[in-house]
Amino acid sequence: MPVSAEQPNRSSSDFKSVSFYVAMVVIFVCLLVTTALPIIIFGYYRSKIIISDLGNDLIEQTSKTVIEKTGNYFMPASRAVKISSKLSELGAISCNNYRQAEMYTLGVLKSFPQTSMFYFGDEQGNYVHAWRLADGNTRSWFIRASASPPTSSRIFRDAALKVAGMDRSNDIDFDPRVRPWYVGAKRTGANFWTDVYISFQSEKPTITCSQPVFDPDGKLTGVWAADIELDEISDFLRKQKIGKSGIELVINEKSEIVAYPVPSLIIRKENGVLRPVKVEELGIEPLSIAYREYVRTGKNRSAVEFGGETYFASFREFPEPFPMRWKIAVLVPENDFVGEAKQSMIIMLLISTVMLALAVFLAFLVSRSITSPVRLISEATAKIKGFNLDEKILIPSRIKEIQLMRDAVSSMQKGLHAFSKYVPSELVRQLISTGEGAQLGGRKRELTVLFSDITGFTSIAELMPPEQLMLHLSEYFDELTKILTIYRGTVDKYIGDGIMAFWGAPVHDADHAAHACEAGLVCQEKISELNQKWIMEGKSALATRIGISTGPTVVGNVGSLERMNYTVMGDNVNMASRLEGANKIYGTQVIVSETTYEAASGKFLFRPLGIVALKGKSKGMAIYELLGRRSDADANHAAELCENFTL
């Protein structure tokens, strides 16, 4: 049956097999993971639900607190203007008595800290005004529009209400009757609240509450009003904590931000005029998304996604009797609520990982003590497969079956080691690696064959003692065999003082002709070096002739069922032998066939020798002397020599 250079087929079980200790560790880990993981996941999601519910309750409670705080903040000012209106209708307060009116407005200002200004204007354009300054002092302003001539007076008072300065003028450019707070109260005839605006004096978000005053006939006589700055509401929101990074804000019906933890962010200057910022101008994209969703659906609660994170949003209307249609908005990242659950899960995972690592370590130790001898036997057989037979097999084990396997492998190693003394180790290693079986038969392949022979070896042998001759020849064979092996050659046999080698089998070599030529040149270079050494040692030089031929060659096992030899046969083998002998005629060292020349001429320089009819051949063929490599330093000289010869 013909030999094959293909890899032997492997069963599917070969690719599915795993080591015993790995299987034990994997099973143990899988059992632990399938037990612990559901518990961890259940604990995480259960904690997440509980914390999420607590978070919703916190949002609800915070919204109620803010609404209550805002209502308590505004209602006293509303009552103050209503009471002032009633007192004016009863005649207890009159704008004609400016001293009385001033003291009254200053008293209201001191009684209600949330009121920054308190003032009154009547139908004649008269006006009395009290304003709390940022440094704690106050300023009063009187406009006597009905006097002749009209006058405007400003009185500056310290924190104790003592006069610190006064300014009077007849230039009046303010009319309370055209102000929004006056117009609104006059139009509605009831308590009136303006939209949020930015005070030109304090540059803070402000809202004004006003109340009309009527005479007994129901005719409007004037309007009381109070300015309420909203920065305290913003400060209150800043002190509120919802999660780690949750925010709260108050929004009016125009989508303007009334109060925010950072008041400076809700004021914008446009065309020289300050105005409140709207929700989508704040630059918080999750809030903008949630607000648009609220406006579209009317749902008070929602969850929005942004930047790979989930946010919980809540919008709640201020209930009656609050006079404005304001909303308290809350936005909190989900992680602020479930972060603790995630942290707990991470801790549980870390603990589980440590336990798992300890379990894996113990499983590894146990499985290793059981399977380590099996692994060592497997490694020993792998070394034997690679024909590495020098290491002694030492596998300690108390298991009887493993001891039997160890002894069998050790016996096999010793037998192969003895066998390698008679059969070339490299040849056996190649046969094992390629999977060629020891079966009779062969097949034809394109190979390159090399024959070498020592010139005048018979005469040399007659002059040397047999023992010295054997040592001398062994050194020669050893050096050349190493070179042939390095350049991928397979040493077939030693024929007396000659060597037979071939390239391209059992391992495929696409560039076998070039490798054979390179090996031939290196062999001649090494022989030249050795001859110099041997001459100095008083030994005979061993001049060598080499013949190389490339062509179809039968390669395989030849012999009997009891004894086989892996070799090459055919006309190409004979051709290489004849070319080696032709060196005697031409006085050359390396002669190659025409097919070898054609295959390797791109890398090497060849001198045509002529067309000859070798022994056993009826037809002439071109032969060439191998001179050197085209890459050598003296290649130009050799190339010129080759050009002087033509066939």
pLDDT at 7: 42
pLDDT at 599: 94
- What would the mean pLDDT of 36-59 be, rounded to a whole number? 68
- Express each pLDDT in 533-585 by its tens digit: 999 998 999 999 999 999 999 988 888 777 777 889 999 999 999 999 999 99
Q: Residue 98 — pLDDT band, cuts 50, 70, 90?
A: confident
pLDDT at 301: 85
Poorest-pLDDT segment among 123-137, 299-313, 423-437: 423-437
Residues in the chain: 647
Percent of the chain whose predicted confidence (pLDDT) is above 90: 25
Spatial neighbors of 578 by CB under 8 A, at least 6 apart, are 547, 614, 615, 616, 617
The beta-carbon contacts of 99-106 under 8 Å, at least 24 apart in sequence, are 101/128, 102/128, 102/130, 102/140, 102/142, 102/155, 105/129, 105/130, 105/140, 106/130, 106/138, 106/140, 106/157, 106/161
Highest mean pLDDT among 34-43, 387-396, 457-466: 457-466
- Express each pLDDT in 240-298 by its tens digit: 777 778 888 898 888 888 888 888 888 888 888 888 989 888 888 998 888 898 888 88
Rounded Cα gap, residues 457 and 472, in angstroms: 12
pLDDT at 612: 87
Rounded Cα gap, residues 256 and 266, in angstroms: 9
Domains of the chain from N-terminus onward: 19-369 (3.30.450.20), 425-643 (3.30.70.1230)
Rounded Cα gap, residues 579 and 625, in angstroms: 10
Q: Residue 435 — pLDDT band, cuts 50, 70, 90?
A: low
Taking the CB of residue 353, how many other CB atoms lie within 10 A of it?
A: 11
Rounded Cα gap, residues 523 and 529, in angstroms: 10
Poorest-pLDDT segment among 139-153, 243-257, 332-346: 332-346
Rounded Cα gap, residues 135 and 515, in angstroms: 101
- What would the mean pLDDT of 504-519 be, rounded to a whole number? 92
**Whether the model pTM is above 0.75:** no
Q: Residue 417 — pLDDT band, cuts 50, 70, 90?
A: low
Residue 447's DSSP bridge partners are 551
Q: Residue 32 — pLDDT band, cuts 50, 70, 90?
A: low
Region of 556 on the Ramachandran plot (φ > 0 left; ψ -120 to 50 alpha; else beta): left
Q: Cis ω on the peptide bond leading into residue 321 (within 30° of 0)?
A: yes
> Which has the closest alpha carbon to 590: 545, 635, 554?
545
SS (H, E, C) 99-134: HHHHHHHHHHHHHCCCEEEEEEEECCCCEEEEEECC
Spatial neighbors of 235 by CB under 8 A, at least 6 apart, are 263
- What would the mean pLDDT of 195-201 be, rounded to a whole number? 83
Pairwise pLDDT comparison (53 vs 192), residue with the higher score: 192
- Express each pLDDT in 124-145 by its tens digit: 989 998 888 877 788 888 888 8
Pairwise pLDDT comparison (97 vs 443), residue with the higher score: 443
Highest mean pLDDT among 154-158, 365-369, 379-383: 154-158
pLDDT at 214: 93
> Which has the closest alpha carbon to 594: 645, 548, 644, 635?
548
Percent of the chain whose predicted confidence (pLDDT) is above 70: 81
Which pairing describes strands 590-593 and 163-169: parallel, antiparallel, or unpaired? Answer: unpaired
- Express each pLDDT in 460-508 by its tens digit: 888 888 889 999 999 999 999 999 999 999 888 899 999 999 999 888 8
> Which has the closest alpha carbon to 464: 546, 551, 408, 541?
541
CA angle 596, 600, 602 (to 5 degrees): 150
> Which has the closest alpha carbon to 290: 309, 304, 279?
304
Amino acid, single-letter form, for residue 562: E
Rg over alpha carbons for the chain, rounded to the nearest Å, is: 55
Which pairing describes strands 544-559 and 590-593: parallel, antiparallel, or unpaired? Answer: parallel
Rounded Cα gap, residues 647 and 644, in angstroms: 10
Q: Residue 15 — pLDDT band, cuts 50, 70, 90?
A: very low
**Distances from the Cα of 326 to the Cαs of 67, 204, 206, 319, 628, in angstroms?**
9, 18, 14, 9, 100
Q: What six digits make up the tokens of 617?
A: 């051949």
CB 519 within 8 A of CB 482: no
